[in-house]
Structure 1
Amino acid sequence: MAKKFKVGLVRVVTIHDEEMLNLHGRLLEQYYPELEVESKCILNQPEGIHDEATELLAVPKIVDLAKVWEGIEALIISCAGDPAVEELRKELKIPVVGGGEATALLASHYGKKVGVLGITEVVPRAYARTFGENIVGTCRAEGVNSTLDLLTPAGRTAVIKKAKELKALGAEVIALACTGLSTIRIAKELEKVCEIPVIDPVMAEGLLTYFACLRRE
């Protein structure tokens, strides 16, 4: 039997339902059977991170949560904004992977012109740093202001509409910029609609984490 790598995963939205809390971890275990994922979430952020103010609130919570986490070989911050990733790389002796940087890195393999699709007005840092002027259009799907909106039929419809707009603007690949889009498992649907690659953040963060774990053996 292949070795299982024990990985911690931080959800940056407060979740009380165990099934929903562990959803990203279960997806990762399906994609990469060698990973064994334990998920935890930060407190008092029911709408997660969707702007600078909510990120500032979240960063110290993520750092405090991660610093006392024992028995893991890598840590994933399952958020496209990569909150606390740089801080934790200075604090921890294990690999720390952010959902945003992983998605941007993988998307860069599939095209030069990139549509970034998420829930924020501002493109997350890793995407802006990686693609710069090659980003087409704007980021936020209309009417989607937090990860909770993605769970509604209207939110899903808005995301599909936005993806079509980005394709029409010349996007060769769409990089999803919210892990809530992984929660609703919309990447494959967008690929069928737009007929271009769509990079799922949870799948991307898992790929980098698995590689990081292999390197440490």
Structure 2
Amino acid sequence: MEKYTVGLIRVLTIQDEELLNRHGKIIEKAFPELKVISKCIENQPKGIYDEKTEEEAKPKILRLVKEFENEGVDAIIISCAADPAVDEAKSLVSIPVIGAGSAASALALSYGRKIGVLNLTEETPKVIKDVLGNNLIAEAHPTGVTNTLDLMTEWGREEAIRAAKRLKEKGAEVIVLGCTGMSTIMIAPILENEVGIPVIDPVIAAGAVALHSLKRLDAWRGNE
């Protein structure tokens, strides 16, 4: 099977090789046709958590986007639910650039029209709000959770399940995870099992959109 190569950008500085490659491994497992190469931005150990850090990250992300294009990847994923620098990247390179937030939101709309967003701590990323529009009917986050490490604890998981149930009680038919940190620990299947409605993982959604983009281009070129 011929594989497509995808460059994946992590928007926090990660020294641990296994952790750096985790989102890529999740995508490769879900979509065996994709081979993922991961890189991270420099000097942002806490990643992006407000407007200031997003602005600081943008030029670093765009440098990696250009680097990936020069290395000949077929598509690029920016693995952050806020889609930082995605619009700028799309006008910078000629290959598909996918943001995890817009990918998850678009995919959620194919499952239902009443969408709830489960965030880690902060409010729903703007790009998710923009894509969902009036279909966004509820937002929640786990009480007391401040980072993804908290979600790895028993109480953190329980709080995430409670928050997801609150979204369902408010009428949500589908839940979007508003933080790719939740993808890192693969919490979507746990929530889906506990709550009983589809839970959209932003990293897997980005992989799905990347594969669709590349298949579409191949079909147009007659390479099905």
Report the TM-score, using the length of structure 2 for normalisation.
Answer: 0.90
Q: Does the 8 A contact of 1:150 with 1:156 survive in 2?
A: yes
Aligned to 1:108: 109
> How far has the Cα of 1:139 moved from its partner?
4.0
Name the aligned partner's letter for residue 49 of structure 1. I
Q: Does the 8 A contact of 1:48 with 1:146 survive in 2?
A: no
Q: 1:66 to 1:208 in 2, by over 3 A?
A: same
> How far has the Cα of 1:182 moved from its partner?
0.9
Aligned to 2:207: 206
> How far has the Cα of 1:94 moved from its partner?
0.6
Q: Does the 8 A contact of 1:9 with 1:76 survive in 2?
A: yes
Task: For 1:1-217, list aligned pairs within 5 A.
Answer: 2-69=1-68, 70-217=71-218
Compare 83-92 and 46-55 and name the one that shifted more: 46-55
Q: 1:152 to 1:10 in 2, by over 3 A?
A: farther
- Show CA shifts across 1:147-185 (max 9, x none): 454444443333222111111111111011111111111
Q: 1:83 to 1:112 in 2, by over 3 A?
A: same
Name the aligned partner's letter for residue 22 of structure 1. N
Name the aligned partner's letter for residue 212 of structure 2. F
> How far has the Cα of 1:46 moved from its partner?
1.7
- Measure, in 1, the Cα distance between the counterparts of 2:158 and 2:56: 30
- Measure, in 1, the Cα distance between the counterparts of 2:102 and 2:146: 22
- Show CA shifts across 1:16-57 (max 9, x none): 111111011111111111111000011122222222222122
Q: 1:204 to 1:92 in 2, by over 3 A?
A: same
- Measure, in 2, the Cα distance between the counterparts of 1:163 and 1:38: 32
Name structure 1 gaps, 5 residues minimum: none
Name the aligned partner's letter for residue 59 of structure 1. K
Name structure 2 gaps, 5 residues minimum: 219-224
Report the TM-score, using the length of structure 1 for normalisation.
Answer: 0.92
- Measure, in 2, the Cα distance between the counterparts of 1:17 and 1:147: 16
Aligned to 2:221: none
SS in 2 for 1:79: coil
Q: Does the 8 A contact of 2:13 with 2:40 survive in 1?
A: yes
- Measure, in 2, the Cα distance between the counterparts of 1:127 and 1:157: 25
- Show CA shifts across 1:41-89 (max 9, x none): 1112222222222212211111112212212010000111000100000
> What is the root-mean-square deviation of aligned Cα atoms in Å?
1.6
- Measure, in 2, the Cα distance between the counterparts of 1:152 and 1:52: 29
Q: 1:54 to 1:147 in 2, by over 3 A?
A: farther
Q: 1:91 to 1:45 in 2, by over 3 A?
A: same
Q: 1:129 to 1:18 in 2, by over 3 A?
A: same
